[in-house]
């Protein structure tokens, strides 16, 4: 099996470093923070409107649903943000 040349290895490392730097920038971006805050707020609003005074088993689902929504939506925002960066 042929090993990649030194130049190919350097190019691969530079591409990886660019991805890692973009991920770090995304993790600290205000858009990411605002998106998580908005999704958490909307989840709590829905909870307060529809689920008040229900058993703790259902109440415990609120943060889980908020987390799920944030991970689903934030990945879309991340792709958009990285493309416009």
- Tell me which of 72 and 17 has the higher pLDDT: 17
Q: What's residue 8's pLDDT?
A: 94
Asked, for residue 1, whether it belongs to a domain, the answer is no
How far apart (Å, rounded) are the C-alpha atoms in residues 43 and 16? 35
Q: Which residues contact 69 (CB under 8 A, 6 or more apart)?
A: 39, 42, 43
Mean confidence (pLDDT) of the chain: 83
Asked, for residue 68, whether it belongs to a domain, the answer is yes
Of residues 78, 79, 80, the one with CA closest to residue 33: 78
- The domain total for the chain is 1
User: Strands, DSSP E only, in the chain?
Assistant: none
Asked, for residue 35, whether it belongs to a domain, the answer is yes
Q: What's residue 82's pLDDT?
A: 85
Q: What percent of the chain has pLDDT over 70?
A: 91
Range of the domain at 27: 6-83
Taking 70 as the threshold, does the pLDDT of residue 54 lie above it?
Answer: no
Asked, for residue 27, whether it belongs to a domain, the answer is yes
Asked, for residue 41, whether it belongs to a domain, the answer is yes
């Amino acid at each position: 099996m042929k090993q990649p040349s030194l130049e190919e290895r350097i190019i691969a490392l530079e591409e990886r470093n660019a991805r890692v730097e973009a991920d770090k920038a995304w993790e600290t971006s205000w858009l990411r923070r605002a998106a998580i805050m908005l999704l958490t707020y909307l989840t709590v609003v829905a909870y307060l409107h529809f689920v008040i005074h229900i058993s703790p088993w259902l109440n415990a689902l609120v943060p889980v649903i908020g987390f799920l929504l944030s991970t689903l939506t934030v990945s879309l925002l991340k792709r958009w943000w990285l493309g416009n960066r």
